Amino acid sequence: MNQIDVKNRIISLRKELERHIHLYHSLDKPEISDQTYDSLMQELIKLEKANPEFDIQNSPSRRIGGIVLDFFQKARHPIKQWSFDNVFDFPELQDWQERNIKILQKISQNNLGNFQKNILKKNFNYVSELKIDGLKIVLTYKAGQLIQAATRGDGEIGEDVTENVRTIKSIPLILKDQIDLIVMGEAWISKSELAKINLEQVKNHLPKYANTRNLAAGTLRQLDSSVVAKRNLQMFCYDIESENFPTQIQELNFLRENNFLVNPHFKLCKDIKEIEKMYQSWQEKKDLEEYGVDGLVIKINQKEIQNILGFTAKSPRSGIAYKFPAEEASTLVKNISIQIGRTGVATPVAELEEVLIYGSRVKRATLHNSDEIKRLDIRIGDTVIVRKAGDVIPEIVSVINNLRPKNSVAFLMPDFCPVCNSKLIKIQNKINRMGDIKFSAGLFCKNEFCSAKHREYFNYFVSKKAFNIDGVGEKIVDEFYDLGLLKNVLDFFKLKKEDIEGLEGFGQKSAANLITAIEKSKNITLHKFIYALGIFHIGETTAKDLAKYFGNFENFEQAILNLIKDFSKLDLSDQKNLETVKAELAIFGLGQKSLESLMSWFADNKNLIFLKEILKIIKIQEINLPNINIQRPISLNSVNSILNKLEKNQVQLLVNENLEKRFKKKIFVITGALSQPREYFVDLIEANGGKVVNSVSKNTNYLLLGDHEKLSTKEKSAKQFGVKIINQKEFERMFSL
């Protein structure tokens, strides 16, 4: 054959093999025998090896694997990957629905955004899908070609597992059309495959995999893709990042039409009663499937309503995971100990006889507080039922009273801290609308010199989510604390090489490495610094939201100090004042406890002195927000004007009204290399009322085009639809007031 014939033969073989792969692995309708398939594949491999100029990354021959990596590269997701909150029974599902309806009614009454008052009465339904017990994967296609597959990771950065995912035969490597697409799905492995592989593990004197999810996760993290190819991984796809589909059902149909494997057991439900019927039905038959099913995923079908509901700090409001009862086991309570956390909270912890639950060994379970101990009437020596709530956190469900020892006595929380012997107290929370004082359920050690609180906070301060001082773990913190090297967290930055050289585990090199790591940690991002302060109720997600909102620490601090002044003037027993406060909380994207905790921390002069000292030592990286007359800080006096401008229930930057009018409802697509990260331009557009989507359509207003080597698909589409194409300079000129 000449070169043209060879090329055409390779192209034909690829198309035919992909067709048979889809028939076999997605539709279960094979047309040829395995032997015929193998012979076609071998012919393709032979031709590609002999003619490497015709090789492509997304050839079906890549499904055999063979790429060996040294390690996995990090991959930043084009869009944040959220996870759904969980409910475990029908009343909780009803509560979720009621919360959403109240939010929609509130928005309808205030006439905010494009929300129509009759939207609750028209086309308001749900899609209920099986919740597959696997590993979330994000697929990215450019011009119809699979270019990246990444694990969820922390929702923003995952691991690049592209070469391994290419071996999954139910995933199309090339789409029918040359489109850009981001697809989410769940990778899984069958129970029969688990049994087969575990036989091999035993044969080779290796530990068995605990369950299908562990096997799927372990397989995807193999560095040799040929190993992955031998294990029959599958992937159910369930979501698309696109503005082109008004409903979830349309997304699922599009995925099926484009050769993605979609779990067939989804259902359009008119109300949550239909969801409950499906839930009860699948609770009985879930174990009959080859894949693990641990519940249902419920989504509001209409994307318009999904967008209006927006997100909490952690999850989209429009969806929920309705989990089946967690796997349970019985075990003995050997002891109940008291653990003092960094905030001083005294948490009772049940020390258990080790038990295996859902593939992991459980030795301890939190008992939360004295109220929980009374509810369970749990005692040392009891036989208890333990489960992993949401298959993650071990919890004690109940006590088997018939097995209780005759001489057992009720457990009482101690009066004094087990570490510093200070009096344990309940703290006051003024949360009642009538101004009534309520007390916390938990006990707290308020001794600021308690070593347990110090140790916990020191570990928190140096953790990866905070200052991320490489090489400093719990053991080193304890050693330095016991030696008197650490009395407060500022002492980390005062350590010298000679202070630690010669200590156990530290030579000249390791001591120098630690000092280098400490110096490196002094340059910290704003959200990590806010998180590192250890403010009660301010976790990583909230810290990121606050950092993105305020841009720099000065703005953030000043806004909180202003709020302290405003709140001190308000009588919260006045219903009008209370509603104003609630509106302010919604704008910040915080709950009442979170904001009160922030204000309490900043109202403490000791903390302000600490800030003054640490800011002399460290450098906080600012989020590079443009100089566009940002109105900060927010005060309660501006709540009404803010609510009028708020179009979605998320934290927004308030900018000049002329800019807001110019960008309001304008849809942007961004492509090419720009002077700043893509997130910079997304934040800027969204802060001024615009919207950024991933693909060009007739509804797109602007394509922001950066430097590029060749004509991109997005640029072609923009020209086809008559979309205005602008470069970065033209974009920046739009901010000239």
Positions annotated as catalytic residues are 131
In single-letter form, the type of residue at position 698 comes to: K
* Distance from C-alpha of 371 to C-alpha of 413, rounded to nearest angstrom: 10
Give the span between the Cα atoms of 425 and 450, in whole angstroms: 14
- Region label for 629, one of left (φ > 0), alpha (ψ between -120 and 50) or beta (otherwise): left
Type of residue found at 129: E
Residue the block writes with tokens 């993105």: 548
Residue type, 256: R
Token digits for 699? Answer: 């509804």
467/465 Cα distance (integer angstroms): 7
| CA-wise closest residue to 461 among 553, 551, 535 | 535
- Who's near 567: CB < 8 A, 6+ residues apart? 581, 599, 636
The two structure tokens encoding residue 263: 């779990």
User: Which two three-digit tokens encode residue 28?
Assistant: 């279960």
Distance CA 450, CA 457 (A): 11
Please name which of 125, 135, 246, 245 lies closest in space to residue 182, comparing C-alpha atoms: 245
Q: CB-based burial of residue 733 (10 Å sphere; 0-12 exposed, 13-18 middle, 19+ buried)?
A: exposed
Count of CA atoms in the C-beta half-sphere (13 A) of 176? 9
Calculate the alpha carbon distances from 178 to 9, 173, 310, 513 in Å. Answer: 22, 12, 31, 50
Determine the Cα–Cα distance for residues 363 and 394; give it in Å rounded to an integer: 9
Q: Find where tokens 């359509």 sit.
A: 697
| Calpha distance 63→356 (Å, rounded) | 36
DSSP label of 177: S
Q: How many CB atoms lie within 10 A of CB 414?
A: 12
Using CA atoms, how far apart are residues 119 and 129, in angstroms rounded to an integer?
A: 23
**For residues 269 and 246, is the Cβ–Cβ distance under 8 A?**
no
CA distance 529 to 517: 16
- C-alpha to C-alpha distance for 160 and 180, rounded to whole angstroms: 18
CA nearest to 590, candidates 644, 642, 542: 542
User: For residue 201, what are the CA distances in angstroms to 1, 190, 204, 206, 208?
Assistant: 46, 16, 5, 5, 6
The residue written with tokens 């991002």 in the block is 525
191 three-state secondary structure? helix
Measured between its terminal Cα atoms, the distance across the chain in Å is 66
For strands 383-389 and 360-366, give the pairing: unpaired
Give the SS3 label for residue 690: coil
